Amino acid sequence: MLRWVRQQLGFDPPHQSDTRTIYIANRFPQHGHYVPQKFADNRIISSKYTVWNFVPKNLFEQFRRVANFYFLIIFLVQLMIDTPTSPITSGLPLFFVITVTAIKQGYEDWLRHKADNEVNGAPVYVVRSGGLVKTRSKNIRVGDIVRVAKDETFPVDLVLLSSDRVDGSCHVTTASLDGETNLKTHVAVPETAVLQSVANLDKLVAVIECQQPEADLYRFVGRITISQQTEEIVRPLGPETLLLRGARLKNTKEIFGVAVYTGMETKMALNYKSKSQKRSAVEKSMNSFLIIYLIILLFEAILSTILKYAWQAEEKWDEPWYNEKTEHERNSSKILRFISDFLAFLVLYNFIIPISLYVTVEMQKFLGSFFIGWDLDLYHKETNQRAQVNTSDLNEELGQVEYVFTDKTGTLTENEMQFRECSINGIKYQEVNGKLTPEGCSEDSPDGNRHSLMKEEELFLKAVCLCHTVQINADQTDGADGPWHANGIASPLEYYASSPDEKALVEAASRVGVVFTGTSGDSMEVKSLGKPERYKLLHVLEFDPNRRRMSVIVESPSGEKLLFTKGAESSILPRSKSGEIDKTRIHVDEFALKGLRTLCVAYRRFTPEEYQEIGKRLHEARTALQQREERLADVFNFIERDLELLGATGVEDKLQEKVQETIEALRLAGIKVWVLTGDKHETAVSVSLSCGHFHRTMNILELVQHKSDSTCAEQLRQLAKRIKEDHVIQHGLVVDGTSLSLALREHEKLFMEVCKNCSAVLCCRMAPLQKAKVVRLLKTSPEKPITLAIGDGANDVSMIQEAHVGIGIMGKEGRQAVRNSDYAIARFKFLSKLLFVHGHFYYIRIATLVQYFFYKNVCFITPQFLYQFFCLFSQQTLYDSVYLTLYNICFTSLPVLIYSLFEQHVHPHVLQSKPVLYRDISKNAHLGFKPFLYWTILGFFHAFVFFYGSYLLMGEDTSLLGNGQMFGNWTFGTLVFTVMVITVTMKMALETHFWTWINHFVTWGSIVFYFIFSLFYGGIIWPFLHTQDMYFVFVQLLSSGSAWFAIILIVVACLFIDVVKKVLYRHLQPTSTEKAQMEEDKGSVSSACDFAESRHRGEDNRQLLDPSSLPDSSYVH
């Protein structure tokens, strides 16, 4: 019991050892003191709440918000002490905000529960007691043997025992895990692969030892010990034997596997990533403003309390004849009275903090995010993909970007590889009409029309055909001589590959005569000029980013043991001892200068003794449970040496359309673009030049191939010096991965100084984590710029998550980048519309929304403060409680919400065609201290005009009614409130540039609703109200002509100065945006089709409300 409690509190984790022991079919040893390990059940829980903890947990989360907690305190103070306003005034808005948020979060969690129940209740078949038993997914235990049929998803993480194939192989697609749609092959160990029936499996006695659960999808270390008669056979288990939960079985009738990780310990569950809590600059500004307003509130409350006691120092005011104190009041402690009065003033003025701001901002972000998905300009017709929003919290951050970090392959380029050239044995070849032709030979020349391949060429092409992870569509592998032309060269075989490079190379080899025809068992079949050959696959040395190469060891038909290796030239050339190394290096550089992606190909022959040594070392490393990766890396390095270089390949990756224009537009907008790629130096520079990232006129500085700290530092100092000397010229910087590691280790400041003075930076040969490091480096620099990272592959995920805004490209490298991004688009060119139009609009809208909220609350509560000077600081309220409650919820909430959804202060086409307008809103320009100060002062000014305007009108004992009757304090408060509601609504109307029928409806509708509500509220005696202070007050106010005149006069007086200020600034100091607005206005005046244009823009916005109208509209925003 004690241990369970400790586990629940997190002091005693359930997994004590580094490994877990699994007895297949749960056949535990009968002898000895065996204590079974505790494993998780197979339930998946993605929900946040349960029925029991929803209320406390949700309330706790909501009251962690400063504003909500503050209003809760105010509400409790109102309940505890005698305050001037009813607890309902702060309780009702708080209840409304908490309830709306709780309903939204509860509904989302209910959907998660529903999805969980569906998954956990799915039917599965398990081998128990010699037969197949149907059960639910949640009932699977670790050690159970599970049967999975074709096209079903795996319910747990399984170690493959056998399949319907003799060799124990099966094909799997992991699209739902890492987005890769290619088929992956998994293989069972030979001893269990033969157990293809339930009866045989039930007799299996085996134990699996493997590592404890971890999130890495591609890492699995374990071993299986199989007891057969008297001997025990030990086999290594790696990622190739592990079938992950969520993956789907393809091209295989059925498989049997043993459950090793269940429920929340499966790799899929461990990869559940709660959305990164990125906070936008606007939210940070909002919190700063809240603190300033909290200080204003405390100042007003303290000042009022002090003035109250200063005033009551005089005998006649302390206890006037009409308000004598009780005995209890006379004897109460002065300190307690002071605290009580302070709290009462705090309650009276608390509405200066806008509680509904949070809920309005949340609604604006949530509803506003739909516009991105509805925008047809961001829709890619060829792939039928529209833009996608994963995080609506960062919409306005799209308008604040200062640095863009982009991947190259698949982001700037198409990731559609086409074979262009190759170098074999020091001779360059091109593919001409399905034949390999040496450079300089035309097809008509005697040498260019050969039908045979030279020995070196054939060996090179065989290496390309054997060293890969390409799959063939299973329907085409049946029948060896099926779909071939007579000469055996042309092949309609359909290849699948996780790497587009590999697919392009295998397809190119098949076109020129060496065709990979598939695998059968442990054999790879190749047709060389129509002649079939079978190579036995002995070992695969998998690709990894550190080695940057992959290898296969095969046995040729003649019995020779061969190693074929391909990889980056930096990892192959230094390991080669023979072949045309120098010529190939020159050719590789030439390919790279043309912007081609390069790979080098090499091979090695083994003597029987060497092969025996290698086999032994590989087996030891692969069966190790501790430090398996390090041991394997050492063995791989031992094997992949003394290579004989065969040649190199050059594959072209086409640029996406409009990449050059997009990069140029980003530059005009004041955004610096950094390209971070894993490609080699020359290829990356070539692509940078062709896509406009580097200009031909640019002075390109290089920080590459540094091996020591001292040389790197020296080079950095020289670069900094050159930049200072040539400050007129634009500079571009090229840095590679190794030099970058050195620069970041010791010379971070110097490196940043060089980078900031360069208008374009290119980082090549980058590892995924280095990409994230570079982003973090800029993010945390003293200027704290807003960063955006954009990429399409799993290697870009860390960079996407690190940046303030992460954008995934829906490319060919799977969906991992898209799943981990904040926004996803189909093409790089859509970035300009996303930033310059959507980002611009979102920022302007939310900046105005936040400042307007503070402004209208200053207008609301300052008259309450001023009124205390006229009522001896007796805490008498100026407004009725119902008006206090409904001001933010009903009377003034809709116009600003609609403005924040539809406002377009400049036409979208103008914003996109003039990227320079983006500079006007950069560095949080509209939410800085100056605009905040302007809105706050404006709020105080309007509040003074409301209050003193109404006071001057009513004056001393002036009758404003025909019968000579006097107005009372409630009528005065209602007059101030009426003027205020009209003024703040009209102020919103003044800020609106783009009017739709919805804007008109809510703006004028809010004023009309206020009048109708007030007449209704004051015209009836409500039985449930204990006081009816407002009875007939509003009707009486409106029956006075003077009051109507005063309302109009005060509203005009308030807004007149604001209008004059706007006009003067617009003509004397216009911003680029205001100039664009004036040009647009002039254009529309002179244009005959001005009315049609405005109608078109109105229709655009109407379409926002009807997603079904998408296909017919031309622009939706």
Catalytic residue numbers, as ranges:
407
Q: Quick one: CA torsion of 136, 142, 143, 149, rounded to 10 degrees? A: 40
Going edge to edge, which strands form the sheet with 184-187? 184-187, 169-173, 248-250
Contact 971, 879 (CB under 8 A): no
What are the percentages of helix, strand and coil residues in the chain, rounded to 5? 50, 20, 30
- In three-state secondary structure terms, 432 is strand
Tell me how far apart the alpha carbons of residues 854 and 940 are, in angstroms, rounded to a whole number: 11
Distance separating the N- and C-terminal Cα atoms of the chain? 60
Q: For residue 303, give the amino acid letter.
A: L
Contact 765, 792 (CB under 8 A): no
Q: Is the C-alpha dihedral spanning 149, 153, 154, 155 positive or negative?
A: negative
Question: In terms of DSSP bridges, do strands 672-676 and 403-406 run parallel, antiparallel, or are they unpaired?
Answer: parallel
Taking the CA of residue 712 as centre, how many other CA atoms within 13 Å lie in the half-sphere pointing to its CB?
Answer: 22
CA-based nearest residue to 795, from 407, 220, 416, 216: 407
Tell me how far apart the alpha carbons of residues 136 and 139 are, in angstroms, rounded to a whole number: 6
SS (H, E, C) 352-409: HCCCHHHHHHHHHHHHHCHHHHHCHHHCECCCCECCEECCHHHHHHHHCCCEEEECCC
**How far is residue 611 CA from its own chain's centroid?**
48
What backbone phi and psi angles, to 5 degrees, belong to 702? -125, 135
Taking the CA of residue 329 as centre, how many other CA atoms within 13 Å lie in the half-sphere pointing to its CB?
Answer: 9
Using CB atoms within 10 Å of the CB of residue 671, give its burial: 0 to 12 exposed, 13 to 18 middle, 19+ buried. Answer: buried
| Cβ count near 126 (within 10 Å) | 19
CA-based nearest residue to 84, from 92, 74, 93: 74
CA-based nearest residue to 1005, from 854, 897, 860: 897
In angstroms, the Cα distances linking 861 to 349, 548, 797, 969 are 6, 66, 48, 16
Which residue has tokens 């519309």? 833
Going edge to edge, which strands form the sheet with 231-237? 19-23, 206-211, 222-228, 231-237
- In three-state secondary structure terms, 1096 is helix
Tell me how far apart the alpha carbons of residues 30 and 33 are, in angstroms, rounded to a whole number: 9
Tell me how far apart the alpha carbons of residues 20 and 132 are, in angstroms, rounded to a whole number: 26
Contact 656, 412 (CB under 8 A): yes
Tell me how far apart the alpha carbons of residues 823 and 1116 are, in angstroms, rounded to a whole number: 18
Question: In terms of DSSP bridges, do strands 576-578 and 643-655 run parallel, antiparallel, or are they unpaired?
Answer: parallel
Angle at which helices 840-867 and 893-902 pack, to 10 degrees? 160
Rg (CA), the chain: 37
Contact 402, 787 (CB under 8 A): yes
Tell me how far apart the alpha carbons of residues 713 and 728 are, in angstroms, rounded to a whole number: 24
Strand partners, 760: 673, 732
